Chain A
Amino acid sequence: MGQNLFIQNALSPPILFFFLGAIAYALKSDFEIPAPLPKLFSLYLLLAIGFRGGIELQKSGFGYPVLPTVIAAILMSLLIPLICFLVLRFKFDVFNAAAISAAYGSISAVTFITAESFLESQNIPFDGFMVAALALMESPAIIIGLLLVKFGAPKDRPIKRKMKWGAILHESMLNGSVYLLLGSLLIGFLTSAIDPSDIKKMEPFTAELFYGAECFFLLDMGIVAAQRLARLNKTGAFLIMFSIFMPIVNAVLGSVVARFLNLNPGNALLFVVLCASASYLAVPTAMRMTVPEARPSYYISTTLGLTFPFNIIIGIPVYMGLVNTMIPSIG
């Protein structure tokens, strides 16, 4: 079963396109995607999953399991950076440990989307309200990361680098990806409540194009991940090990919480993936702005070069096996 899941996932179009991009880089092909397109496709994916999530959220309401799941997701995005920080402090200073911890406490929307595609290919049902958990897990991790810096930084940190909380909250809650995701969620929710016929008009854009756009974006991600992977030697063995083992630890924690929440296997997998994934959109940009002492090569190379490909290629089927083991009565 586990091996089948792994092979089916590895041979799905999004993952094959990811490999295609990575191989293009490895073979030094002159293939490239003009820079504005990946940005456009990442915005499209956020808009589409936000909109569809809003529709599903309207249908499911805010009772069980929506509210407990969302609250648990937020708590996990507060807890995971603290655990990561304790581990990372063995090797890194406060700034780097906090920045990397925040990235691992936050989420990767593309990993989430890939997990959704995996569930669809396996005919395992899941609920669209999980997008709400996705949207709400970015900001808390950023805030925890910055609190770790605030309380852990040396007292002689230059005054100009003292935290400006207005800017921090602005960056953590209104950075582009969080803003678009939450905004689209709200628009989907309102559209579904006010005039559901408008959903049909949006469907060719938000639903039918989605899978192809995901493949195209993953093609580019393959190139970027391969570039980052090639530069991982600068990060050291400890961080390389961390970027593989920490997602697994977080996945185990997530599956325990998913079992406690009594989530169905589809939702449980998405919850676990949210816990196991690491941010390369909102958190790195927020960290660079507020913690310039931290080295971007640490938290970008590991999240994009190792954790992201590990999660989408190996992690998702492994986490599905974990969910099936942890929640046998439902799975």
Chain B
Amino acid sequence: MKRLDLIFSERELNDVLSALEKAEVPGYTVMKHATGRGPERIVTEDMEFTGFGSNAHVIIFCEQEIIDKIRENINNVLSYYGGVAYVSEATPL
């Protein structure tokens, strides 16, 4: 089992979720209003009204085949708009 962590601007959430749905992920968790710092700027909720709001953090637990299916679509979104995606091993409790 793999864990995929995606952190990107909330503005691209629909694009990312659509890529996940296309790859038929078994499910995902979305955490909005994630703040922090990126290479370009401090990510803060204070800019929400400008459309430059905070980030979203999406977590997916799935098998390697699903990760392979979503890789290209997710990379397209993240390489265009920015964001990070990391895969790690996950062991069920």
Contact = CB atoms under 8 A, between A and B. Distances in A.
Interface stretch (B19-27, B58-66, B76-84, B85-93): B76-84
A297 interface: yes
Contacts of A288: 11, 52, 81
A223 interface: yes
Interface in A255-291: 280-282, 284-285, 288-289
Nearest to B12: A289
B51 A42 contact: no
A35 B46 contact: yes
Given A223-B46, A285-B50, A297 B41 contact: yes
A42 B11 CA distance: 18
B62 to A, nearest CB: 26
B82 A42 contact: no
Interface string A208-244: 0000000000001001100100010000000000000
B31 to A, nearest CB: 14
Interface string B42-61: 10111111111110000000
A231 B44 CA distance: 14
A93 to B, nearest CB: 16
A42 B49 contact: yes
For the complex, would chain A's binding face be called helix, strand, loop or mixed by DSSP majority?
helix
B85 to A, nearest CB: 16
A28 interface: no
B81 A292 contact: yes
Given A175-B51, A223-B46, A284-B51, A35 B33 contact: yes
A200 interface: no
A295 B11 CA distance: 17
A289 to B, nearest CB: 8
Contact of B52 (A160, A175, A300): A300
A41 to B, nearest CB: 8
B40 A296 contact: yes
Q: Interface residues of B toward A: which range?
A: 20 to 34
Contact of B48 (A39, A289, A292): A39
A224 B82 contact: no
Nearest to A223: B46
Contacts, number: 61
B81 A296 contact: no
Query: Which of B42, B47, B50 has the largest count of A CB atoms less than 10 A from its CB?
Result: B50
B46 A284 contact: no
A296 B81 CA distance: 11
A297 B80 contact: no
Contact of B76 (A39, A160, A282): A160
A38 B51 contact: no
Given A160-B76, A292-B81, A295-B40, A35 B51 contact: no
A285 B49 contact: no
Contact of A224 (B33, B47, B76, B81): B47
A161 interface: yes
B51 A285 contact: yes
Contacts of B11: 285, 288-289
Contact of A35 (B40, B42, B52, B53): B53
A288 B11 CA distance: 10
A296 B41 contact: yes
A36 B50 contact: no
Contacts of B52: 284-285, 288, 296, 300
A171 to B, nearest CB: 10
What are the 4 A-B residue pairs with the smallest beta carbon separation, nearest first? A35-B45, A285-B51, A42-B49, A38-B49
Given A285-B11, A285-B51, A288-B11, 19 more contacts: A35-B46, A38-B49, A160-B80, A176-B51, A223-B46, A224-B47, A227-B42, A227-B44, A231-B42, A284-B52, A285-B52, A292-B80, A296-B41, A296-B52, A297-B41, A300-B41, A300-B47, A300-B52, A304-B50
